[in-house]
């Protein structure tokens, strides 16, 4: 049997040697989510301020702890600038100090951007990410971050480097879930730091529970369920686990903890999917260690590139796709913002738009945008998430023509085909009662609303 031990030894270098390979003007992609390099980042950060190393762009997707050392050790950005394709709480905090910049993108296009020759000018010169140890076939599995790792790696212009971590779960394909040693330039062995985990979701609020109950009533047996990031999707997944629903399928950008609960209760079979029957497909995972253990070497699940999981055309091939995502605010025109608070970047477009479009085009599919009707600021003042117009500077994540279902603790509304009057009426009906009179006044001033309008739309 062929072995790859000699090739492994030839390509194995120290972390310090790997860091010395970085040159001025390099574009480095740092993997994504829990696959970002840890020990390589520490080694590279020691070159911060080196006069022979300037203008190095480092890109991540969904930053997780630990804080990148290249950011901590180079606050004046003499050597490194940090960018993120999808803002997390960590990226947001760095952004507030001017240490991280957002790269807007539709998530399903991430792999295409990494492989389309018309975008070769933004391809990385260096790719480095954590992987599993090499298997007997010479393959390094991307673990929890399949997504667009392979696209970035094989199209890196100069170097592809893997940082081996024995703690990385081996997430079976799917597709594009590995790199072969022949495709890798160098290997570094890290200190096997624990893989980043998120705490289990806390107790839901009464508002969240009510929202979930509205959505539960809309989910049929055999549905293909996409759960987004946040407390609400996880809450809904756990409610599904305790329901009478059966034969559910999974196609999702993120594999979250709630899917494990759904598997444990026998709700997921994937038997009704149009393709990938009997297998849950996903692009990445962020969760607890229990979820990582569930995915490790589990043939019930397939890690795939994100164009495969999130392309709206692919999503729509399944019947009864149910997509559930959170939003930050909405205006009386029914424009949805899910990623900024004014000009402050909170998250990113991610796959929300992908699944709203895909679910609507799925036979029997429904795309839900859920939000509590109010929120409190730092001073404890209550504000409405329904606004006359989006906060100045807010980004439109889902255009009004694409919005399907909206849900708050005060009800659920199907927005498709509604007039501007009907949209304002529906959105006001989802707002907290304390704010409705003012919103009606605003709608009148905007010439959107009239009590005398009796049409159903």
Give the number of domains in the chain.
Answer: 2
> What pLDDT does residue 363 have?
98
Closest to 283 measured CA to CA, from 224, 240, 227, 243: 227
- Alpha-carbon span 415 to 190, nearest angstrom: 51
Q: Which ranges in 249-316 belong to alpha helices (H)?
A: 257-264, 289-295, 306-310, 312-316
Q: Where residue 150 sits, what CATH number does that domain have? A: 3.40.1080.10
> What pLDDT does residue 393 have?
96
Q: Is residue 338 in a domain?
A: yes
* pLDDT per 10-residue tile (average), the chain, 457 residues: 88 98 98 97 97 97 96 97 96 96 96 92 97 97 98 97 98 97 97 93 90 97 90 87 97 96 97 98 96 98 98 98 96 98 94 97 97 95 98 97 98 96 96 97 89 69
- Alpha-carbon span 437 to 63, nearest angstrom: 41
Q: Verify that 277 and 160 share a domain, yes or no.
A: no
Q: Verify that 302 and 232 share a domain, yes or no.
A: yes
> What pLDDT does residue 265 have?
97
Q: Verify that 106 and 255 share a domain, yes or no.
A: no
Q: Which ranges in 248-365 belong to alpha helices (H)?
A: 257-264, 289-295, 306-310, 312-316, 352-361
Residues serving a catalytic function are 253
Q: Is residue 434 in a domain?
A: yes
Q: Verify that 303 and 172 share a domain, yes or no.
A: no
Q: Where residue 412 sits, what CATH number does that domain have? A: 3.40.1080.20
Any residues with CB less than 8 A from the CB of 111 and at least 6 apart, and which? 147, 148, 151, 176, 305, 306, 307
Q: Is residue 57 in a domain?
A: yes
Measured distance between the N- and C-terminal CA atoms of the chain, rounded to whole angstroms: 69
3-state secondary structure of 22: coil
Closest to 104 measured CA to CA, from 123, 90, 89, 84: 84
Q: Is residue 452 in a domain?
A: no
> What pLDDT does residue 200 have?
78
Q: Verify that 434 and 339 share a domain, yes or no.
A: yes
What's the domain range around 346? Answer: 206-445
């Amino acid at each position: 049997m062929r072995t790859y031990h000699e090739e492994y030894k030839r390509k194995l270098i120290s972390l310090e040697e790997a860091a010395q390979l970085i040159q001025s003007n390099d574009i480095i992609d740092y993997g994504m989510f829990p696959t970002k390099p840890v020990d390589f980042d520490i080694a590279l950060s020691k070159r911060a301020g080196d006069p022979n190393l300037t203008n190095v762009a480092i890109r991540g997707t969904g930053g997780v702890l630990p804080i990148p050392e290249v950011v901590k050790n180079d606050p004046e950005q003499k050597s490194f600038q940090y960018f993120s394709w999808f803002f997390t709480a960590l990226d947001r905090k760095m952004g507030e100090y001017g240490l991280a910049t957002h790269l807007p993108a539709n998530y399903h296009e991430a792999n295409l951007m990494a492989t389309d020759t018309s975008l070769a000018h933004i391809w990385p010169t260096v790719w480095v990410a954590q992987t599993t140890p090499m298997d007997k076939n010479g393959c390094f599995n991307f673990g929890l971050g399949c997504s667009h790792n392979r696209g970035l790696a094989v199209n890196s212009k100069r170097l592809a480097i893997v940082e081996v971590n024995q703690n990385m779960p081996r997430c079976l394909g799917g597709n594009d879930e590995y790199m072969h040693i022949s495709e890798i330039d160098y290997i570094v062995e890290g200190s096997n730091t624990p893989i980043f985990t998120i705490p289990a979701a806390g107790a839901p609020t009464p508002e969240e529970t009510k929202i979930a109950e509205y959505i539960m009533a809309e989910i049929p047996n055999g549905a293909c369920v996409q759960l987004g990031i946040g407390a609400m999707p996880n809450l809904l997944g756990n409610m599904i686990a305790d329901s009478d629903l059966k034969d559910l399928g999974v196609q999702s950008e993120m594999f979250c903890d709630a899917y494990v609960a759904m598997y444990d209760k026998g709700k997921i079979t994937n038997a009704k999917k149009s393709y990938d029957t009997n297998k849950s497909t996903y692009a990445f995972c962020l969760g607890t260690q229990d979820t990582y253990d569930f995915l490790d070497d589990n043939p019930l699940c397939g890690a795939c590139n994100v164009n495969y999981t999130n392309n709206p055309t692919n999503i729509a091939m399944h019947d009864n796709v149910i997509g559930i995502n959170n939003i930050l605010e909405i205006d009386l025109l029914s424009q949805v913002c899910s990623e900024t608070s004014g000009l402050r970047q909170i998250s990113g477009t991610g796959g929300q738009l992908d699944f709203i479009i895909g679910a609507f085009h799925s036979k029997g599919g429904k795309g839900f945008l859920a939000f509590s009707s109010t929120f409190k600021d730092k001073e404890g003042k209550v504000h409405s998430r329904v606004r006359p117009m989006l906060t100045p500077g807010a980004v439109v994540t889902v255009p009004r023509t694409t919005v399907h279902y909206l849900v708050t603790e005060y009800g659920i509304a199907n927005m498709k085909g509604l007039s501007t009057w009907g949209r304002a009426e529906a959105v006001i009906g989802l707002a907290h009662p304390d704010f409705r009179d003012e919103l009606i006044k605003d709608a009148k001033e905007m010439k959107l609303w009239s009590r005398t309008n009796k049409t159903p739309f």
